[in-house]
Amino acid sequence: MESTAAILPSRLLQVALPRPIPALFDYDASTCPHAEPGQRVRVPFGRSELWGIAWRWRTPETDGRDPMAPDRIKSVIGVDPVAPTLPASWRALVEFIADYYQQPIGEVAAMAAPPAIAATRAERSHRRFRATATGLASTPELPARDVGRKLLIALERSGDMSEGELRALSSRAPVALERLLAAGWIEHALPGVPAESAHPLSADQSAALEALQSTRGYAASLLHGVTGSGKTEVYLRLIEAQIASGRQCLLLVPEIALTPQLQARVAARFPRACLHVMHSEMSDGARAMAWTSAQSGTADILLGTRLAVFAPLPRLGCIVLDEEHDPSFRQTEGVRYSARDVAIWRARYENVPIVLGSATPSLESLRHAMDGRYAWLRLNSRAGAAKLPDVKLIDTRVFRTTEGLSPPMVKAIESRLARGEQTLLFINRRGYAPVLSCPACGWAAGCTRCSANLVLHAADRRLRCHHCGAEGPVPKACPECGNQDMQGFGRGTQRLEETLTGLFPAARLLRIDRDSVRGRDHWQAQLDRIRRGEVDLVVGTQLLAKGHDFPGITLVGVVGADASLHAADFRAQERLFAQLMQVGGRAGRGNTAGDVLIQTAQPEHPLFLALKAHDFDGFALRQLEERARLGLPPHGFQLMLSADAPDLQTALDFLEAARRAALALGVGGVRIYDVVPMRMVRRANRERAQLVVESRSRPDLRALLRPWVTNLYRLRLARGLRWHIDVDPAEV
Ligand code: ADP
Ligand code: ZN
Ligand code: ZN
C-alpha cells in the first residue's frame, strides 16, 4: 500500500457515477487544477464518457478500498462550467440515503442532483430595500442629479421597494445601491410582512404555534388535526416568523401539480417573499432556476414535492411536510427512499425544526409521537364556524344498489340538487368497467404484457392496461366463442357518470380522474368551476381528495370502498381510512354542515364505525395493537428484495441464492421469509418475485442488511435479471 501510494497521482478525485455499483470511482485530477468536490465532472468510463459528481479527495482515511493500480487510473476530462457546485451538506444527504436505503451512491446522486443545465434566465433578484433614518436625513445633502438621491427619494415615498423596481429607475442603480448599502443609508427590508391580515388563531392553533416556536435547533413535531382544523394557517405563521428573521423555509407536499391552491395561498400571504416551486413535471430549465435560487440563498420559501428535499438551502430555518401520511412521499421506482424520513434526517443534520402535518398520521409517525420522539400537537376542531361532517353508513345488504347506487344515496343526491347544493361522489377506479368479459364462455380481456385485466374505457371505446399503459380497440366479438354481446363488469368513474346522467339529466355533471384531466391549466379550470358552483355533481377519484377546499359541497357519497377492506397489503386499511377521512373532509367546509354517506355491505366493520365516530385515535390504536402482535411496522421493520426477469424462474433462482446468502450470515433476531412470486406476477413483460426479511429490532435488521447487500453484488446475474432492495418498503 505504501509503495503504491508513492506513485499515485497527488490529486485523486473520487467521483459518483450513475451506475448500479455501490462505490465511488477514482480519477486523476492533476490536469484539472480547478476541480473540486461538489462539481459536475466529465470522466472516461469504459469505452465511453460519463458525467458524474466529484465527491471527495481520496485520502487513506476516506476509503477502505485499495486504490486502483496507478497505471489504470484515468484522468478527469473536464468540469461543467455552469452546474452549481453542490455543497458538503448535499453530499452528506446523498450518502445517508445510499447507506440507509442501500442504494448505489452514484444513482442516488444522479437522482438528487439538479437538472444538468444552467439556470436559463438570470434569477430576478428578490432583494428588497428601505431607507434608514440616516439615509433619509442625508438625502437633501446629495447633489440633485445623484442616482442615490433619486433612489432614496423613491424609497421614502414607497416605504420599501424591490431591487427590480429600483433598477428600473436608473441604469446606474445597481452601483448606487451597493454604495448606499455600504454607507448604511439603506438596508434590506425583510419579506416577512404578511399581506392579508391572518385570522386570529384559535386556542389550539396558538398552543401549537407556541410549541413549534419554543424549540431551538432540531425538533420534530407532529401537527395532528382534522381537515380544515387550520394546520396550514399554523404553517404559514411559522414560515412568517422564519422568513422575518432571514431564514429559508422548505415546504414539502405530496403532490403539487394538483394542489395549486396551496401555492396560491402561500404566494398571497407572502407577496414580497421569494417563493419558488419545484416538482417533477416542471421543465428542466424552471427546475434549475428554482434550484439556483434555493442554493444561492435567494429563495425565502421553497415549495415542492419529494425531490425538493434535496435542494440546498444555506439559510434553512425550518422544514414543513404536509400530509405526511401520503404514500407519494415514498419513491417506489429507481432509487427507493421516503422523502419524509429523509426530511427528518436532514432536519436533524442541519439542526432545524421539522413539522409533519396530517389529519390521519401514518402509524409510524404516530408511534414516534406516542413515544415522545416527536412533539404531538393537536388541533381538535375545525377552524372558524365549520363543523365536522355527519358520517352515515348505508347497508347495501338492506338497501340494494342499482347500477352501483342505493335508494338512500339517490335520494340524498336529489335533495342536494333541489337545494342547489353540490355533491361529490367518490369512486376510486377510473375507466368504465375494470373487466370486459364474455358472459357466454367466461373469456376476459387481459393484458398480454401483465397479469392483469384490461380496463374498458367507454368514452373512446378502448381497452387499457392501468399497469403498463398498453391499449387496444374493444373487440367486436369474443375472440374465444364469437359471442357479440360482450359485457363490462364492475364499475369505474365513467360508468358512474353515465348512471348519474341517466338519473339526473338536468344536473350539471363533471367527472374528475387521471383521464379527464388535461394538464395543469385544465385542472385548475375544473377546480374553479366546482368552486364557482357551475357544477352540481362531481364524480371523482382520490385526485379530488387531496387538499382542496370546496365550500359548496355538502354531500360526499362513497361508492365501492369495500374492495379495499380485503386487500392483501397490511397497510390497506390504514390507507382506506386516511382516504375516506380525506374525501369526507371535503364536505361542509363552508357555512353548511356536510354529510358523508358510505355504501357498504359491512357497516359493522370497525373501520367504518371509527369513521362514523371521527375516531382516528381508536382506529389507529387498534391497528397499532394488531401490528405489535404481528411484529409489523411500526412495531417491526422490513426489507424487501425484489427481482424481475423475462421469466419467473430466473427471478426465483436469484432470490433463492440471495436467501441462502442471507441465512449464511447467521444474523440473529431476523425472520427471512420464503421467496414468493409477486401478487401481480407479470408486469410489462417481466415476471416478478420477492423476498421479505423482517425483524422486531432495527439494529438486528441493519446488521444483516449491509453485508447481505454487499454479497448480493457478488452474485452472478442471469441474463435480463434485475434486482432491487427496498428498505422500509411501503407495500409488501
Ligand atoms: P387544514 O390545513 O388543517 O386543512 P386550513 O389552515 O386550510 O386547515 O384552514 C381551513 C379553513 O379555515 C381555511 O379556509 C382557513 O382560512 C380557515 N381558518 C384557519 N384558521 C382559522 C382561524 N383561526 N379562524 C378562522 N378561520 C380559520
Ligand atoms: Zn366467449
Ligand atoms: Zn399491461
Compute, in angstroms, the gap from residue 439 CA to the centroid of ligand 1.
52
Ligand 1 pocket, 201 CB below 6 A?
yes
Compute, in angstroms, the gap from residue 245 CA to the centroid of ligand 1.
24
Query: Percentage of residues in the chain with pLDDT exceeding 70?
Result: 94
Ligand 1 pocket, 227 CB below 6 A?
yes
Res 589: pLDDT: 63
Per residue in 276-297, is it b (16+ CB within 10 Å) or e — as a string?
bbbbeebeeebbbbbbbbbbee
Ligand 1 pocket, 514 CB below 6 A?
no
User: Which atom of ligand 1 is the closest one to the Cα of 386?
Assistant: 12
Lowest-pLDDT range of 266-270, 305-309, 408-412: 266-270
Computed over its alpha carbons, how large is the radius of gyration of the chain? 29
Mean residue pLDDT of the chain comes to 91
Ligand 1 pocket, 365 CB below 6 A?
no
pTM of the entire predicted model: 0.88
DSSP assignment string, 486-542:
-EEES--HHHHHHHHHHH-TTS-EEEESTTT--HHHHHHHHHHHHHTT--SEEEE-G
Which residue type occupies 4? T
Ligand 1 pocket, 233 CB below 6 A?
yes
CA nearest ligand 1 atom 6, residue: 230
Compute, in angstroms, the gap from residue 434 CA to the centroid of ligand 3.
13
Confidence of residue 6 (pLDDT cuts 50, 70, 90): very low
CA nearest ligand 1 atom 10, residue: 228
Contacts 24+ apart (CB under 8 A), 90-99: 90/38, 90/310, 90/312, 91/37, 91/38, 91/55, 91/56, 92/349, 93/310, 93/342, 93/345, 93/346, 93/349, 94/16, 94/310, 96/342, 96/345, 96/349, 97/335, 97/337, 97/342, 98/22
Residues pairing with 248 in the sheet: 316
User: Cα angle vertex 263, ends 258, 264, to 5°?
Assistant: 110
Which ligand ends up closest to the CA of 439?
2
CA nearest ligand 1 atom 14, residue: 228
Res 64: pLDDT: 57
Cα first-last separation, the chain? 45
As a whole number of angstroms, the distance between CA 301 and CA 304 comes to: 10
Compute, in angstroms, the gap from residue 234 CA to the centroid of ligand 1.
9
As a whole number of angstroms, the distance between CA 436 and CA 183 comes to: 77
User: Which atom of ligand 1 is the closest one to the Cα of 226?
Assistant: 3
Of 222, 233, 378, 591, best ligand 1 pocket probe by most atoms within 8 Å of the beta carbon:
233
Compute, in angstroms, the gap from residue 440 CA to the centroid of ligand 2.
5
Compute, in angstroms, the gap from residue 485 CA to the centroid of ligand 2.
9
Confidence of residue 5 (pLDDT cuts 50, 70, 90): very low
Ligand 1 pocket, 547 CB below 6 A?
no
pLDDT at 66 over 80: no
Q: 485499495: which residue's cell?
A: 66
Ligand 1 pocket, 267 CB below 6 A?
no
Which ligand ends up closest to the CA of 550?
1
What average pLDDT does the segment 179-194 reach? 76
User: What are residue 107's phi and psi, to 5 degrees?
Assistant: -70, -40
pLDDT at 121 over 60: no
Residues pairing with 439 in the sheet: none
Compute, in angstroms, the gap from residue 92 CA to the centroid of ligand 3.
39
pLDDT at 105 over 90: yes
As a whole number of angstroms, the distance between CA 26 and CA 15 comes to: 6
Please state whether the peptide bond connecting residue 191 to the residue before it is cis, i.e. omega within 30 degrees of 0. Answer: no
Ligand 1 pocket, 384 CB below 6 A?
yes
What average pLDDT does the segment 266-278 reach? 91
Cell, residue 505: 339529466
As a whole number of angstroms, the distance between CA 386 and CA 388 comes to: 7
Residues pairing with 353 in the sheet: 219
CA nearest ligand 1 atom 21, residue: 383
Res 58: pLDDT: 87
- Name the E strands within 111-261: 128-131, 160-162, 186-188, 219-225, 248-252
Ligand 1 pocket, 704 CB below 6 A?
no
Query: Percentage of residues in the chain with pLDDT exceeding 90?
Result: 72
621-653 tens-digit pLDDT: 999 999 999 999 999 999 999 999 999 999 999
Q: Is 535 left (phi over 0), alpha (psi -120 to 50) or beta?
A: beta
Ligand 1 pocket, 228 CB below 6 A?
yes
As a whole number of angstroms, the distance between CA 703 and CA 710 comes to: 12
606-621 tens-digit pLDDT: 999 999 999 999 999 9
User: Which atom of ligand 1 is the closest one to the Cα of 201?
Assistant: 23
Res 54: pLDDT: 97
pLDDT at 654 over 80: yes
Confidence of residue 360 (pLDDT cuts 50, 70, 90): very high
Compute, in angstroms, the gap from residue 243 CA to the centroid of ligand 1.
21
More confident residue, 465 or 272: 465
Compute, in angstroms, the gap from residue 453 CA to the centroid of ligand 3.
8
